[in-house]
Amino acid sequence: MTTAEIKEMASKYIVNTYGERPISLARGEGAYVWDAEGKKYLDLVAGIATINVGHCNARVVDALIAQARQLIHVSNLYYIEPQAKLAKRLVELSFADKCFFCNSGAEANEAAIKVARKYTKDKITKDKYEIITMFKSFHGRTMTTITATGQEKYHKGFEPMAPGFKYVPFNDLKALEDAVTDKTCAVMVEPIQAEGGINMPDDDYLIKLRKLCDDKNLLLIFDEVQTAMGRLGTLFGYESYGVEPDIMTMAKALGGGVPIGCMATKDHIAESLSPGTHASTFGGNPLVCSAALASLNYIVDENLPDNALKVGGYVMDKLKELMGKYPVIKEVRGKGLLIGMELKVEGKGFVMECMKEGLILNCIGSRIIRIAPPLIISEKHVDEALPIMEKNLANL
């Protein structure tokens, strides 16, 4: 089918929550995708920081095919071997002792919110339930997770919001300390605010946040939906800052392209999610867990976090060179291969012009160009993208 035919069908039958889309992508391989007409694009978005191992990674595809031929779904009424193997591997590689699997980042954050409140009521006091999150954060699209999200634009039309949340500025420890009350049970934060604009923490912010939570007997939740799986140059984002949370959430890149989420935590906290307190019909099914295990092992075996550091550093250097030439660039910031280039003008037109020339970028907010490519990219790929970016920066 052509893009026009696909658009006509989608417009007729699909709820329009994504607006106008210029192309229909039909095939992917490595760092490239092709549209329905066969045009090739270099993809620096990776399904929104999801395809870390590259499009249609052979090990992920082989795992999916093998598992699909054996068993796709049985529900969590029974033990599932690929789920147990994936949990074991994640625990071996992280601070956590236990995993709960679901289908998305929003669901993982829901699980984190539930276990934080339940643990606090079980082990500390029944009077604590509030969770502090950050302005400009993003934690999901369910009613609870849009409430946790500190951006009013996501709340409009869905009021009233769920009770039990308050917001403080990111990177402001004093504001956070002042916001803690006798009702506070946890703090929820992204190591780097991704959807909020690639907002970076000060070098010691997360370390001091960990100490504050320890001093106040609060749980620290890291939303690593975009920062886990090697993107910042370490397998998990918390490792980049030398801070261990009590609870961590993952999704996006965990599955290598298939939908899976995970809430990981310590034994003493996990105990509060006893049988019957939480569940997910499709969470951790054999198919997605086989794909996720293959993706995770590929990231580790191929040392993709190191590549993210190396190539990410190259991207940052080149973008800063462009910033010196083109005053329309306000700032370049990021870590590893999660990079934001903030413009002084609207960025949508820039993204569209780059797309016409075979380069896929993403604009968040209205002026921040997000670069979150597959972690398999090389400096050669970057050199392919830069002339397209420079040409269109010169036209702004």
Residue of 43, 223, 318, 350 marked active site: 223
From CA 368, how far away is CA 40, in angstroms rounded? Answer: 24
Q: For residues 79 and 291, is the Cβ–Cβ distance under 8 A?
A: no
CA-nearest of 76, 151, 139, 153 to 110 is 139
Residue 161 has a pLDDT of 96
Residue 385 has a pLDDT of 98
Asked if the domains at 3-56+303-394 and 58-301 fall in one CATH topology, the answer is no
Residue 78 has a pLDDT of 97
Whole-number mean pLDDT of the chain?
A: 97
From CA 292, how far away is CA 250, in angstroms rounded? Answer: 11
CA dihedral (235, 240, 246, 250) positive or negative: negative
Whether 178 is catalytic: no
From CA 239, how far away is CA 261, in angstroms rounded? Answer: 20
Instruction: Tell me which CATH code domain 58-301 carries.
Output: 3.40.640.10
For residue 188, list its beta bridge partners. Answer: 221
Residue 392 has a pLDDT of 97
Residue 334 has a pLDDT of 98
Q: How far is CA 395 from CA 227, 339, 391, in A?
A: 32, 22, 7
Whether 252 is catalytic: yes
Whether 335 is catalytic: no
Residue of 100, 138, 222, 236 marked active site: 138
Residue of 98, 128, 252, 318 marked active site: 252
The 10s digit of each residue's pLDDT in 304-355 is 999 999 999 999 999 999 999 999 999 999 999 999 999 999 999 999 999 9
The 10s digit of each residue's pLDDT in 178-211 is 999 999 999 999 999 999 999 999 999 999 999 9
Domain boundaries, the chain: 3-56+303-394, 58-301
The string of DSSP codes covering 29-44 is EBTEEEETT--EEEES
CATH class in words for 3-56+303-394: alpha beta
pLDDT in tens, the chain (396 residues): 999 999 999 999 999 999 989 999 999 999 999 999 999 999 999 999 999 999 999 999 999 999 999 999 999 999 999 999 999 999 999 999 999 999 999 999 999 999 999 999 999 999 999 999 999 999 999 999 999 999 999 999 999 999 999 999 999 999 999 999 999 999 999 999 999 999 999 999 999 999 999 999 999 999 999 999 999 999 999 999 999 999 999 999 999 999 999 999 999 999 999 999 999 999 999 999 999 999 999 999 999 999 999 999 999 999 999 999 999 999 999 999 999 999 999 999 999 999 999 999 999 999 999 999 999 999 999 999 999 999 999 999
